[in-house]
Every structure is written in C-alpha cells, then in structure tokens.
Amino acid sequence: MPTDDLPIITTPDGSRTALSARYGEAYGSRHGAATQARHVFVEGTGTQEHPAPRVLEVGFGLGVNFRATVADAARRGAPLAYVAWEFDPAPVEVLREVAGADMPAVWAALLARWPDTAPSAPVHVEAGGVAVTVHFADVLEAALPQDWATALYLDGFSPTRNPEVWTPDFVARLAGALAPGGMIATYSAAGHVRRALEAAGLRVERRPGAPGKRECLRAIRVA
C-alpha cells in the first residue's frame, strides 16, 4: 500500500492517526487517538489493573492501541502478552510517523520485522516484558486461542464499512477466546453490536464514550 493512501492526521490530544483510503475513515478517533486507545480499550477491559494481561486485538492497524497497552504495562512493571490480527498492514514508515518519538524496545523490535507485503508469516517479538505476535491474515479465517484473552480489543473499521468483524457469528467466536472474567471492549455502541455481544453470552455494559462519542461498550465473560 503506498503511503500516499494513508494521510496522517494529528488529533487534539497530540497523538496521530491516519486516514484509510480503502475504508474512507480514520484508523483511530479524530477526536484523540491515544485518548480513545486508553479509555475505550485499555480501561474498557480493565487491563490497567490486571497483573499479567493477555490481549487479543482485531485490527492491529497503526499500533496505537498496542502502544497505549505497552505504556501502561511498562509503568506498572506488568508482563504483557499481545496477539493481534491485521490483514492489510500499513507501511512501516506510516507506523513510525504515527508513533513519533514514542519508541519502547518492543515497538522498535516489531518495526524492524514489519513485513513489506501481505500476506506474510506472523511476526513474534519479545522485549521489555512484552511478547507480541501479529498475524498478517484475515481474522475471520483464524484459529483463535480459546479461553485465553483477559482483554479483547474489537477495533475493526466501523460496522457499516467493515461489517464482517461485527457479525453475531464472529462475535460469538471472539467470546470463545476470552478467559473467564475476560472482557471485550469496542468503541461502537451500535444496537446490533450490543445484541451480538449479549447473544454470545456476555454481560454487556455501556460506558461513556471517548471524546466525540456518547457511549462505548464492554462485554464480560462472567463464567
């Protein structure tokens, strides 16, 4: 993908994201990409309080959620395992520019192995207490880990533009990846997304949204 297809934008909290020409929308919130990552995904799943989080992400994108999670784990000295899927990896220059000077060891190691093309073999790196695997493949065809994730970040593009990652069938598969007590977080509060999470047997809670959104959702595997 040429970098021209991904113009970078600086958001009001000073963090950056990019616009996807393919989907016609931004990867992260234009109202604050880092703020959304922290509020919706890290705090939405209680990851900032977990002693050893295991995160599964649908849509690694530009790594904004990953870097927010790494920053939190590093601050607390908590070991972090992170597994993500991304079927359309952005060019490494875009990931680097979006992150700017924020360069923890695991991010540098991941960018050093970032593929030029997709599909590609998964990349696994470990540094600074973080183990991360990115699968460069369609998550719909993935064998997801079972009963594993303490946190699941459901961060596809919007349900209207990227509907396949929000279907009841796929959401039920995601629920199976959660460990007992694990939580799915998403920025969408659409009624059909909430109903899909409930139909998967999860207890759904509405939360105040990140800037620019009234509400977001968390869904908990109770048993």
Ligand X SMILES: C[S@@+](CC[C@H](N)C(=O)[O-])C[C@H]1O[C@@H](n2cnc3c(N)ncnc32)[C@H](O)[C@@H]1O
Binding site for ligand X (CB under 6 A): 27-28, 37, 59-65, 85-88, 138-140, 155-157, 162, 164-165
3-state secondary structure 134-202: EECCCHHHCCCCCCCEEEEEECCCCCCCCHHHHCHHHHHHHHHHEEEEEEEEECCCCHHHHHHHHHCCC
Q: Would you tell me how many other CB atoms lie within 10 Å of the CB of residue 158?
A: 14
CB of 23 to ligand X, least distance (A): 7
Tell me whether residue 165 or residue 178 sits nearer to ligand X (CB atom). Answer: 165
Nearer to ligand X, 144 or 178 (CB): 144
Judged by beta carbon, residue 190 or residue 223, the one nearer ligand X is 190
Smallest separation, CB 222 to ligand X (Å): 26
Strands (E), 47-162: 54-58, 80-85, 123-127, 130-135, 149-154
Considering the complex, what minimum distance in angstroms separates the CB of residue 55 from ligand X?
A: 11
Partners of 118 in the β-ladder = none
In angstroms, what is the minimal distance from the CB of 6 to ligand X? Answer: 10
Indicate the residue among 175 and 185 with the shorter CB distance to ligand X: 185
Cβ-based neighbour number of residue 77 at 10 Å: 8
In whole angstroms, the minimum distance from the beta carbon of 103 to ligand X comes to 16
Looking at residue 3, the DSSP 8-state letter turns out to be G
CB closer to ligand X, 189 vs 203 = 189
